[in-house]
Structures are given as structure tokens and as C-alpha cells.
Homo-oligomer: A and B are copies of this chain.
Amino acid sequence: MATTSVSELGRRAQRASRQLATASGAVKDTALRLAADLIEQHGADILAANQTDLASAAAEGATATELDRLRLTEARLRAMADGLRAVAGQPDPVGQVVEGYVRPNGLRVERVRVPLGVIGIIYENRPNVTSDAAGLCLKAGNVTMLRGSSSAIASNTAIVACLRQAAAKAGLPEDVVLLVEDTSREAAVAFMRLEGVIDCLIPRGGASLIATIRAEATVPCVIDGDGNCHVYVDAAADLDKAVAIVVNAKMQRPGVCNAAESLLVHAAVADAFLPRVARALDGVALVGDDRSRALVPGMGTADEADYATEFLDLKMAVAVVDDLDGAIDHITRFGSGHTEAIVTTDLAAAERFCSEVDAGAVVVNASTRFIDGAELGLGAEIGISTQKLHARGPMGVRELTCTKYVVRGDGQVRL
């Protein structure tokens, strides 16, 4: 079967977008629930398609991690279906009046939440992103154009078929979800340059994908970047809580972006705290500066690169700092603008940290692991933005919308 060109898919996305933008919440939620049902009903077909992808990937020498990301299971399919149902249960952001007022000349002004239009998702491996992302976009009234990796093409095709069929059964255009079947680099670049079609491009992937987006994309993007998150243990920290928070932030799920990668300790409590936390971080490879290493026998040496790295693993870089300023300077230099935490009982230190640390989220006396959409009560998230424009921090359905001014008058003209 010949693949459809990216530009033709773009035209179809725009047509579908016009119809979807004014669809009722009830219709969109029906489509989401039908999609969940279809994914469960066609589970065997999806898993068979996934087996094809896995076999090809294994033959091409994919790593165990890559294969794990690519793999679907009964449990993962159920999680995808449940995710779609959960999104259906969330409030519809579209139509919300964000503000409204009357001007002195009688013009009634409202700012109303509306869909962005067409959202492009470019992602690697994980086929569950296909339904997670498309579900959130649909909820917010957006057409989704998906460009997954060639490694997952059979899985993605099978999942997209369910989503499209569900849309049609709910009375929406099938084209509210579109898959770019051409997985060449040329098609990816054409996709990133669909100016006037893609209103927002969201990459989900590693550093090389982000670099390609920055170099090639001409459409507006929201970058879901690295999380090089720090925990700073202040002179006035409750050290019991500090141990629990550091252990949780590093070890509860090391492979995710809101896990902590670096530990900063105030010099005044380094003696008391570092040996204790090192014991508690059992199984974590610690690397540190000279002052840290003097307190923890066997700790490796940290170089600049360690402080700048998102390990996503049971590894942590440690530094002793002279004071709060030292901690803020270190974070300013090495942080990625994702999540930064302080443990302290000192009000002034907490306030200065919150005010002066420039990140999507600052956390006082709690684990960095709370900075995701579900934990913050946003519902499902499409990513965590480390840029400042449009969305910052966890992005839920609200971040997949924009606003429109609606101005009503009675013949007013400007003097």
C-alpha cells in the first residue's frame, strides 16, 4: 500500500480539525470510551503487530531497554484503555471562559478556551504513547498527527486503527487521529515543517530528537526536555525527613525525569547527614566532590559532566555547598529547569529557594517525584515542559488548548 504524503495528511488534519473543534464534550468522551473498548477487543491483533515490531527490532540489534520500551503486554494494553477512560472522565477544557469583563464603551470581552487545532507528536519506540497522546489531544478538541519510530510502525498502525474507528463510531471524522506511515527522516523533517498546519509540535524522545527538532522544525514546539533535578539539604533541615526525601527522589523510580540526579548538602550538616544518607542510598553509585568524598569512604569522584547528567539510573552526584547561595548557584549552573527541591525548617531559606531558583517546579520538604500531572491533580499528562513558553512543568489537557477573544458589541466603532 502506498503511504500517504505528509502534506496530504496535513490537509486531512485541517479538515478534521474544523469539525472536531466544535464537537461536544459528550461526543469526544464517547469516542475516547469506544477507543478504550476497541483496544481491548482488538488486543490480540495489537499484540501480534507488536510481536512483528519486536522481532524486527531484535533482528536489527535493539538493546534490552529499547525492546522493553517497544513491548506491549496485556497489562500495558489495559493501562492504555484505562488511560483513555480516565481522560474521558476529566472535565472538558474547551469553552471555559478564562476571564470576562465589560469595557467602558460597552464592549463585552471574553477570553474563551479553545483547542489548539492540530497537534503533532513525534516519538520513539513506546507504542503506548500513541493512544495516551491522541486521547489527551482529542479530549482538548485537537486533531493528532502522530509520527512514531519505524521500530513501532506495526503496533502504532494497529492502535491508530482502533482510535480512528472509535472516532467514526462516535460521529467524528476518522482523521481526528492520523499516523505518518512514512518513517523516513525526510518525512519526519517534512512533518516538522508543516507550517500553517501543525499548531503545536511535541517531541517525546531523547536528546538527539530534541536537537533535530531545534535544528529543523519551523512549526511552534513545546520541548519536553531533560530532568536534571536536585535535592538541597539545608543547614536547618530535619535530617530524618531529608534522608526519606533523598531516598525517595533517587530510588523510588530512577528512570524517570522527576527523579533526583544530584544531592547538594550544606557544609554545616554534611558530617551528620552524608554518611547517613549514603547508607540509606543502598545500591546507588555515588560520585562527589572532595568534601563529600572525605565523609563517605568509597565514593567516586564527580566531574563536571556528572553534575550535568540526567543519569536516569541508580547513580547520584553529590556536592557540599557553603550555604544557600552556593546551592542556588550550583542549580542555576547545572539544573535543566525541571524540578528542584529544598529540605529545610528555615522559612527564609525556603522562601529564597522558591523565589530564586528558576525551574518549572520548586519543592519544599517533599520528594521531586511529585512533579507529574497525576500527582499535581492535572489528570493525565502529555509531558513535562522544561521550556517557559506556553507551558511549564507538567502539561495536561489545559496546556493543549489556547484562548480566543470573543468581543460582543452593539455597533461600536473606534473614535
- Nearest chain B residue, comparing its CB with the CB of A377: B103
- Nearest chain B residue, comparing its CB with the CB of A222: B389
- Nearest chain B residue, comparing its CB with the CB of A246: B413
Evaluate contact between B377 and A199: CB separation under 8 angstroms: no
Contacts of A354 in B (CB 8 A): 406
Residue A30 is within 8 A (CB to CB) of chain B in the complex: no
Tell me which of A77-85, A147-155, A237-245 binds B: A237-245
Within residues 137 to 151 of chain A, which ones have a CB less than 8 A from any CB in chain B? none
Contacts of A114 in B (CB 8 A): 358
Residue-wise, chain A 341-374 has the 8 Å CB interface mask toward B (1 for contact) of 0000000001000111011111111110111000
Evaluate contact between A109 and B376: CB separation under 8 angstroms: yes
Evaluate contact between B362 and A414: CB separation under 8 angstroms: no
Tell me which of A48-56, A125-133, A212-220 binds B: A212-220
Once the chains are docked, how many angstroms separate the CA of A356 from the CA of B238?
56
Once the chains are docked, how many angstroms separate the CA of A180 from the CA of B158?
53
Evaluate contact between A413 and B356: CB separation under 8 angstroms: no
Tell me which of A4-12, A264-272, A312-320, A397-405 binds B: A397-405
Evaluate contact between B369 and A414: CB separation under 8 angstroms: yes
Name the interface size band of chain A. 35 or more
Evaluate contact between B414 and A402: CB separation under 8 angstroms: no
Residue A410 is within 8 A (CB to CB) of chain B in the complex: yes
- Nearest chain B residue, comparing its CB with the CB of A238: B411
Residue-wise, chain A 224-253 has the 8 Å CB interface mask toward B (1 for contact) of 000000000000001011001101110010
Residue A285 is within 8 A (CB to CB) of chain B in the complex: no
Contacts of A413 in B (CB 8 A): 244-245, 247-249, 252, 366-367, 369
Selected from B107, B117, B221, B355, the residue in CB contact (under 8 A) with A388 is B117
Since A366-B408, A366-B409, A367-B414 are in contact, a sample of 18 more A-B pairs with Cβ atoms closer than 8 Å, ordered by chain A residue number, is: A21-B356, A103-B376, A107-B366, A199-B387, A220-B389, A222-B389, A358-B404, A359-B404, A360-B405, A361-B404, A362-B405, A362-B406, A362-B407, A363-B409, A364-B406, A370-B412, A390-B390, A392-B405
**Which residues of A come within 8 Å of B, CB atoms?**
18, 21-22, 101, 103, 107, 109, 114, 116-117, 195, 199-200, 214-215, 218, 220-222, 238, 240-241, 244-245, 247-249, 252, 332, 350, 354-356, 358-367, 369-371, 375-377, 387-390, 392-394, 402-414
